[in-house]
Amino acid sequence: MHALIVIDIQNDFCPGGALAVAGGDQIVQPVNALMAEVDAVILTQDWHPAGHSSFASQHDGAEPFSLTQMPYGPQVLWPDHCVQGSPGANFHPDLEVDRADLIIRKGFRPQIDSYSAFFENDHETATGLEGYLRTRGISRLTMVGLATDFCVNFSAVDAAKLGFDVTVRTDLCRAIDMDGSLAAAQDGMRAAGVTLT
């Protein structure tokens, strides 16, 4: 069984959003088309409470896109984004959300961020997606979405480590690309055994 995992195609990651990824809206129609070719469609949704600890606004004097240390390791501080129930947290209006079998939300614990669809940024708190996929007999994953170098990257690497057969369609992803993060992510995904096309 083959699932399409659509990562975080939400208003805040598209042009005009709080953490806009250049060209983020360009992938929506081709991602919709790909939904017809798989056995299961799963969407992820970045879903932070107001005042989330990954927001630079919660750290005195910190600039967005700077790095801090959290109890679980290094963490980039972001502009406030994808606040639960806000328009920015909604999926892009043209994304065919009705085709999804499952929508998995992440980043909802105030004190910890979650880039990956499988584990939060402590790399041990599970989201439950692994169990869902295994109990449905899904072993093959195609990943698309935003952003290539953060949530797609962490999701793909975790999935490969868990033993799934993972392909990232880089033509259907867009990157934030800060300080070489895209090149590092591509190297990391390849090293983990992810197929990049």
Residues known to be catalytic: 8, 106, 151
Q: Is 8 in the site for ligand VGL (CB under 6 A)?
A: yes
From its phi and psi, is residue 115 left (phi > 0), alpha (psi between -120 and 50) or beta? alpha
Residue 9 binding result from ligand VGL, Zn ion, none, given CB thresholds of 5 to 8 Å by partner type:
none
Kindly calculate the radius of gyration of the chain based on its CA atoms and give it in whole angstroms.
Answer: 15
Q: Is 46 in the site for ligand VGL (CB under 6 A)?
A: yes
Q: Taking a C-beta distance cutoff of 8 angstroms, is the pair 84, 47 a contact?
A: yes
Q: Taking a C-beta distance cutoff of 8 angstroms, is the pair 113, 120 a contact?
A: yes
3-state secondary structure of 39: coil
Q: Least distance in Å: CB of 141 to Zn ion? A: 21
Whichever of 88 and 107 has its CB closer to Zn ion, that residue is 107
Residues 64 to 93 in contact with ligand VGL, rule: CB under 6 A: 78
In sequence order, the 6+-apart residues with CB closer than 8 A to the CB of 139 are 1, 133, 164, 165
Q: Is 146 in the site for ligand VGL (CB under 6 A)?
A: yes
Q: Least distance in Å: CB of 53 to Zn ion? A: 11
Measure the CA–CA gap between 77 and 58, rounded to whole angstroms.
9
Q: Which residues of 21-53 are buried (b: 16+ CB within 10 A; e: fewer)?
A: beebbebbeebbebbeebebbbbbbbbbeeebb
Q: Least distance in Å: CB of 106 to Zn ion? A: 8
Region from 31-39, 59-67, 143-151, 189-197 binding ligand VGL, contact rule CB under 6 A? 143-151
Region from 27-35, 41-49, 158-166, 172-180 binding Zn ion, contact rule CB under 5 A? 41-49
Whichever of 93 and 163 has its CB closer to ligand VGL, that residue is 93
Cis peptide before 147 (omega within 30 of 0): yes
Whichever of 84 and 195 has its CB closer to Zn ion, that residue is 84
Q: Least distance in Å: CB of 139 to Zn ion? A: 28
Q: Catalog residues that contact ligand VGL under the rule CB under 6 A.
A: 8, 13, 46, 78, 115, 146-147, 150-151
